[in-house]
Amino acid sequence: MSLDFLTGSDGDLTLDPDTGDFQMIEDEGQTTQAVRIALGTNIGELDWNEDFGFGHLNLFSLLDDEGALQAELENYLTDVMEDQIIGVTVDSVDKLGRTATIHLTIEINTDESIQTDLEVSDSGTD
């Protein structure tokens, strides 16, 4: 069993409200958290690792081609997360002006799936 720090939906570390200690996450939740972080980080966003992240602007240009969008996301996640990701399915895309929400189902190697949303805009950031 391995443990990691738990992050909230905003990406910040979470504290236990009763003890004030950092909350931890076990094996099962780490893949879900890693997917959220990998998809939610725009390439070049992190000063200390400018190569990490995904080109959200590239995704925006693929919104009308779900097959290409799905392939791009699957290639990225399988590269970043190696043997943890089995496949990615784009369930739907909701476009609203210069932003879009991509609804995804990601199959992971534990015979489970992660359902998540990715917001992108034509400015390349969330």
Query: Per residue in 65-100, pLDDT tens?
Result: 999 999 999 999 999 888 888 999 999 999 988 889
Which burial class, exposed, middle or buried, applies to 66 when counting CB atoms under 10 A from its CB (0-12, 13-18, 19+)?
Answer: middle
The CA-atom distances, in angstroms, between 76 and each of 6, 52, 66, 87, 94 are 23, 11, 15, 11, 21
CA atoms of 24 and 7, how far apart (whole Å): 9
pLDDT tens column, 103-119 = 999 998 888 888 989 88
- In this predicted structure, the answer to whether residue 15 has a pLDDT above a threshold of 80 is yes
Average pLDDT (20-39) is: 77
Q: Which CATH number applies to 3-121?
A: 3.10.450
Per-residue pLDDT band for 28 (boundaries 50, 70, 90) equals low
In three-state secondary structure terms, 99 is: strand
Of the candidates 97, 103, 116, the one whose C-alpha atom is nearest the C-alpha of residue 34 is: 116
pLDDT of residue 125: 46
At 67 the pLDDT is 92
User: What is the full DSSP assignment across 13-49?
Assistant: B-B-TTT-PBPEEEHHHHHHHHHHHHHHSBTT--TT-
pTM: 0.75
Calculate what percentage of the chain has a pLDDT beyond 90.
23
pLDDT for position 2: 66
